[in-house]
Homo-oligomer: A and B are copies of this chain.
Amino acid sequence: MNWTLDTHSIVAPQDFVGSAVAAGIKKENGKLDLGLIFSTRPAVTAARFTSNVVKAAPLLVCLKNLKESGGAIRAIIVNSGNANACTGENGLAVAEKMAILAGRLLAIPPREVLVSSTGVIGLQIPFERMERKAAELKENLGPQGVEAVAAAIMTTDTVRKVCSATSSMGGSTVRITGMTKGAGMIHPRMATTLGFVLTDAAISRDLLEAALTHACERSYNRISVDGDTSTNDTLAVVANGASGAESVEKKDRLFDHFVEGLTAVCQSLAQQIVRDGEGATKFVEIAVTTAPGEPEATAIARSIANSPLVKTALAGEDANWGRILCAAGYSGVSFDPSRVDIWIGDLPVCRGGVGLPFDESRAKQILRSRDIQIRLDLNQGQASSIMWTCDLTKEYIHINADYRT
């Protein structure tokens, strides 16, 4: 792949500006909690939202605006500290006011704005605090401000999560820059948490949708922290064509190249979420191979990735492969357990469904690492799949036992 990835610094693609302020929506005073992203030229946007039937108010506004603008979204207003979910008519009015506010600041129609919120569920959002900071939000707008938005969307995140990819494409240097947040309530079925990806590539809206579907399926839909699917999950990609690159208009080599870059950025962002999973000390890749089909392989990997018993054993650095096979067994997939081989790292621990004698000290050594791979070879087909998850520790309980108050 000829995309260069950077997960440390974040550079805005051409003609994107951003800004963030501390509006007092988060409990902790002085923390950035309101952000604005803007393409100074027209753009197209594709987005995925939660599959939860309980959808937060901002998502309803996003769906309406995407429809009314025909995907011509070029701005995102986002707050943390309050999810604006389960807030009824009043919450919906606030989400609409956020779009209107952004539209006024940027001199664009409100229908060209996406609205995002993340934080506690069920509390009314104090909109007047946003209005009070509107002038400052506008003043701060600049290419450097995009980086500040990545900080403004954090809640229980302990690190900022960004990824920037660059490549030569269609005759120009194209940049795809993403940011995301999330550490708990992570079990995407469609997309998860908040993720915003900006690019100066030129691409039609339909193809941007297709590219996002591809990328999302291989990134956000392959991670799990705790099996909870949020009410606010949003992943949006905004493309403004400012790079001057040739426009992607059909499913050709240029499209494939863009998809590759977008997928790499989304995978990096999704994996950063798992690495920062609430209380997590380990990043675990669950690979299922030689399965009868890809959906079956994914279902088995997902079942293992979600098992509290597998995840607590990982926290305890215990090579309890029996729990891994057990979790595969209740995945809903019909398979023959007596053909399954299991590896922890490069250590074979189970062959043909039966335990192998293995060196416990070597197993401990593997499980002591920060990055672990668990592999199941089903030996009953050609398909494979991967999920990324983390361990389940006492710290997860600590973080979540008293989040609201």
Measured between alpha carbons, how far is A400 from B333 in the docked complex, in Å? 25
Known contacts A323-B121, A325-B121, A326-B85: A402-B316 contact under CB 8 Å: yes
Interface residue tally of chain A, by bracket?
35 or more
New contact pairs (11) apart from A228-B326, A313-B404, A318-B401, CB-CB < 8 Å: A53-B329, A85-B326, A86-B337, A87-B355, A88-B354, A122-B321, A122-B325, A228-B309, A229-B326, A231-B329, A394-B397
Known contacts A312-B401, A393-B397: A325-B229 contact under CB 8 Å: no
Q: Which residue of chain B has its CB nearest to the CB of A89?
A: B354
Q: Could you mark each residue 213-244 of chain A with 1 if its beta carbon is under 8 Å from any beta carbon of chain B, else 0?
A: 00000000000001111110000000000000
* Chain B nearest Cβ from A92, distance in angstroms: 10
Measured between alpha carbons, how far is A118 from B55 in the docked complex, in Å? 43
Point out the residues of chain B lying under 8 angstroms from A338, CB to CB: 88
Q: Which of B87, B309, B396 contacts A185 (CB 8 A)?
A: B309
Measured between alpha carbons, how far is A315 from B396 in the docked complex, in Å? 12
Interface residues of A (CB under 8 A from B): 51-55, 83, 85-88, 90-91, 120-124, 184-185, 187, 189, 226-231, 306-309, 312-313, 315-316, 318-323, 325-330, 333-335, 337-338, 350, 352-355, 360, 392-394, 396-398, 400-405
Q: Which residue of chain B has its CB nearest to the CB of A404?
A: B320
User: How many identical subunits does the complex contain?
Assistant: 2
Point out the residues of chain B lying under 8 angstroms from A123, CB to CB: 355
Measured between alpha carbons, how far is A401 from B337 in the docked complex, in Å? 25
Q: Which residue of chain B has its CB nearest to the CB of A400?
A: B312
| Contact B86–A325 (Cβ < 8 Å) | yes
Main secondary structure of the interface of A (DSSP, over half): loop
Measured between alpha carbons, how far is A171 from B327 in the docked complex, in Å? 48
Q: Which of B185, B306, B334, B403 contacts A318 (CB 8 A)?
A: B403
Measured between alpha carbons, how far is A360 from B404 in the docked complex, in Å? 11
Point out the residues of chain B lying under 8 angstroms from A88, CB to CB: 338, 352-354
* Chain B nearest Cβ from A187, distance in angstroms: 8
Q: Which of B319, B354, B394 contacts A394 (CB 8 A)?
A: B394
Q: Which of B86, B226, B313, B326 contacts A401 (CB 8 A)?
A: B313
Q: Which residue of chain B has its CB nearest to the CB of A327?
A: B228
| Contact A227–B227 (Cβ < 8 Å) | yes
Point out the residues of chain B lying under 8 angstroms from A404, CB to CB: 313, 318-320, 322
| Contact B228–A307 (Cβ < 8 Å) | yes
Point out the residues of chain B lying under 8 angstroms from A91, CB to CB: 354
| Contact B397–A325 (Cβ < 8 Å) | no
